[in-house]
Structure 1
Amino acid sequence: MHTRRDVVIFDFGGVLIDWNPRYLYRKLFGDDEAAMEAFLAEVTTPEWNLQQDAGRSWDEAVRVLTAEHPTKADLIAAYQHRWEETLGGPIDDSLHILRDLKKAGHPLYGLTNWSQETFPFAQERFDFLALFDGIVVSGAEGMIKPDPRLYQTLLERYDIDPARAIFIDDNKVNVEAANALGIHGIHFHDAAQLRAELVRLGFLP
């Protein structure tokens, strides 16, 4: 028997929400783009930030990094204390798709790599997050995508049959992890590509 897929699981950052630490650090580095890029590549690296998504506290993250780079203490602290300034706006074209899926009656879920300390800022700013029937935040679970246990947490908590679900993420590795669990993964590039794929799958007219 073929199960019709009707559940949609979204990643947030890069798909529905424009998040980028450069929004904050351009204010702090001014015109020195090269110094900013060096700082983001060598000090507050994506790997360092990902540990907060996996549950490490921001206080500890800043303490550890400041010990390694004492001359950059103020810049490192800004990542925590001015974190809200790393948020851009919603990705509007994707948001239209989300609202269309809601109108069409599809159950909507979120599976995001995000610090549990900073996710409330996003919830406060983006009212569309209330459209979701359930959200699993990596920082609250102590593990990050592509760990299959995080996907299983979502599936079990909300009683989702993977054969009925699709998962949308801008990170190919995360999409492959979903596929391995029997969820149909869509690697997000832009809203036009996503809409075309959802139409092809019968999720949208």
Structure 2
Amino acid sequence: MAVEAVVFDIGNVLIEWQPERFYDREIGQAAREAMFAEVDLHGMNDRVDAGENWRDTVYDWAARYPDHETAIRMWHDRWIELAAPVIPHSVQLLRRLRAKGVPVFALTNFGIESFAYAKSIYRFLEEFDRPYVSGHMGLIKPDPSIYAAVEADCGLPSATLLFADDRAENIAAAEARGWQGHVFTNPQGWADRLVAEGLLTEAEAAFAHGEHPL
């Protein structure tokens, strides 16, 4: 079935999300590995993505682990350094699709406050026709209910939605509902898929050096 809307994940599709890389730089790889082995930081982040208050959740988590308190607080206090850099080619693809009149949605595991902060830095996050943000929805991928909620809101048949996400389990859950999926590994592969679907020409999908992504 022809694609009627393209759905972007954000982390590692439009913006790199590699907290381990940030902590390796700040506290060293050995200290980071020890902290991540002791503290479920990704589980903490899942709670934020599900709608809990960002600062309160991170600070409460930090208080439980005095040996790592300062480092854990960075997940809030220096978060924009964790969520960086932008993936410029992906931003260009988003804009090319919208310029062609293709509806573009976001479906992202993201906290309420952190998403608002991200939009203040990365202005292209304001450009989605429909943003579906887990914190506001109270659901996180790959829960099938989040895909059902998107379908109900946008009113499009599931088979007409083409979804790019870097996590195979999120794509598998979408495909189980009939969505078309693309496991994102790099922007060129995503560009090639958009061309193959007839949504962009090769020229439109090509990376334009020097074009500012913000």
TM-score (norm 2): 0.85
Matches within 5 A, 1:44-59: 44-58=40-54, 59=56
Alignment pair present for 1:180 and 2:163: no
Alignment pair present for 1:38 and 2:62: no
Cα displacement (A) at 1:66? 2.4
Task: Give the secondary-structure state (helix, strand or coil) at the position aligned to 1:182.
Answer: coil
Q: Which amino acid aligns with 2:162?
A: I
Alignment pair present for 1:191 and 2:187: yes
Cα displacement (A) at 1:27? 5.6
Cα contact 1:6–1:203 (8 A) shared by 2? no
The residue number in structure 1 matching 2:77 is 81
Percent identity of paired positions between Structure 1 and Structure 2: 35
- Which residue among 111, 118, 122 is the counterpart of 1:122? 118
The residue number in structure 2 matching 1:25 is 23
Q: Distance in 2 between matches of 1:122 and 1:98?
A: 17
- Which residue among 103, 106, 110 is the counterpart of 2:99? 103
My pick for the range that moved more, 13-22 or 111-120, is: 13-22
Cα contact 1:110–1:135 (8 A) shared by 2? yes
Alignment pair present for 1:139 and 2:135: yes
Alignment pair present for 1:63 and 2:56: no
Aligned length: 200
Alignment pair present for 1:203 and 2:185: no
Q: Distance in 1 between matches of 2:125 and 2:57?
A: 28
CA offsets, 1:80-119, max 9 Å, x none? 2222222212101212211221122100000000111211
Structure 1: gaps of 5 or more residues: none
**RMSD across aligned positions (CA):** 1.9
Alignment pair present for 1:13 and 2:6: no
My pick for the range that moved more, 85-94 or 167-176, is: 85-94
TM-score (norm 1): 0.88
Structure 2: gaps of 5 or more residues: 202-214
Q: Which amino acid aligns with 1:125?
A: I
Task: Give the secondary-structure state (helix, strand or coil) at the position aligned to 1:90.
Answer: coil
CA offsets, 1:139-182, max 9 Å, x none? 11221000111112222222222122111100000001111111
Task: Give the secondary-structure state (helix, strand or coil) at the position aligned to 2:105.
Answer: strand
